Every structure is written in structure tokens, then in C-alpha cells.
A = this chain, B = another copy of it.
Amino acid sequence: MERTGAAAVIIGNEVLTAKVVDANGPLLIRRLREVGIPLRSVEIIPDDVDIIVEAVARARARAPYVFTSGGIGPTHDDVTVRAVALALGRQVVRLPEMVELVRKRSENLTAEALRLADAPEGAVLLPQEGTWFPVLTVDNIFLLPGVPQLFKLQLETVLARLRGTPVHLCNLYLRLGESAIAAVLDRVALDMPHVAIGSYPVFDATLDYRVKVTVEAAEAPPVEQAVARIRGGLPADAVLRQE
């Protein structure tokens, strides 16, 4: 796996216990695809420091950009800052500019409210339009809040700073089943490792096709070449349409 793209860690007991349906993972998946940043993995894990430390370290090994969702806040179950610091081998420090922001908007400034200003050493804040709460980031890890409205706002702030590469994709809709096309796909996938070929059967009599084959790559010519080879290896009427 090339070490490009992004990896995501969704921190949330509330998701794993079905108290809320995670909206942040699906949004991140969709938006990264739209801007052309490959996503390597999404892990949904509990609010547990040790588990978060491991997941963040794993995400960093997989991709240069890491997005976390959740565990940012002043309560006992908000342990993401501490875990990210541990994953990086850093201390937790109090960011003076965040202390100022918290102070400005707190009626009575509690010790707990000030926890919002804690961050891994080396962290910086990115100004966030539409809310007082800035984006917290350190070493290309973006610590986004779990609350979906805030996650969505902050995600766009981060994406505006990253550069993606749109993918070239071609879909083939086939009237044959997977077993009948597997040998052809095998050969093309083996010969062209830089082209990603996916095969997705459907079991739905209301659809006119039985398998959707996806062919994608960073450039258009290898996609066209792979599609031509797949079509050439199948019976002439196997492909219902190409999109």
C-alpha cells in the first residue's frame, strides 16, 4: 500500500453501542473521494486511551493524513488529546490562544472548561468559520469533534488545505455471474497491478445486470486499456453497458 492519502479513527462508545448512528465516517469517506484523497482505513473504537493510541499509530503508518472524530471536550470520556499525545510521544500542554477563546465565551470559567485548551505539544489551531471552536491539528493528525455539525464544518476547513488527485473510474454492468468472469478479471488484475478492479455481484431480480465491475486508476489510459482487455476476454454480449 502506498503511503499516501488518509486514514480515519472514529472514537465513540456511543457509536459502538448503537446510541447514535455514525454520520462522520460516511461523510469523510464521501468527501475524501470527491476531492481525490485515497482513504486507507476507518476504525471505530471505544473511548479508551490505549486503544486510541494504537489505532492512531496504525493510521499514521498507513497514511500521511489522519482524521480522528470524537473525544474532544471537557468530560472524563474525552481522551483523544491525551491518546494522540501518547501516540506521538509528546506531552499534553495548554494552548494559551485556546485558553483565551475558552475564557471569552465561558460564563464561569471552570477547571473543566479549560481542559478544552489542552493539546499535544506542537499542536496548532486552524481558524474555523461559523464557530468559535478552531480545528486542532498536530503532525497532520486532525482532531475533529464528534458532534456531526462541528465535524462537518471542520472537515471542510481541513480539506481546503489538502490537495487530492481525482480518480479515473469506469463501470461495466455485466449480464454474467462472477464465476463466469473471474478468470478474465484475474488475468487483467494480475497484469495491471496499478489499476484497481472491483467485482460486485447483485442479487436483485429487478436489476438488469448481475455483476458491476469497477476499473479505476490515477490516469485515464490504463483504465481504458484494462476495460478493453476485460471486454475482449468476455463474450460479445456480456457487457450490458459501460459508464
Residues on A lying within 8 angstroms of B by beta carbon are 1, 13-22, 25-26, 29-30, 32-34, 38-48, 51, 73-78, 106, 108, 110-113, 115-116, 147, 149-150, 167, 178-183, 185-186, 189-190, 196-204, 214, 216
Contact = CB atoms under 8 A, between A and B. Distances in A.
Contacts of A30: 18
A199 B14 CA distance: 9
A1 B54 CA distance: 14
B40 A110 contact: no
- The A interface, classified by DSSP as helix, strand, loop or mixed, is mixed
Contacts of A15: 29
10 contacts: A14-B200, A22-B26, A40-B46, A42-B44, A73-B178, A76-B199, A77-B197, A112-B183, A113-B179, A149-B203
Given A1-B46, A75-B199, A214 B14 contact: yes
Among A30, A47, A200, the one with the most B-chain Cβ atoms within 10 Å of its Cβ is A200
A207 to B, nearest CB: 12
Nearest to A181: B75
Contacts of A198: 13-14, 19, 47, 77
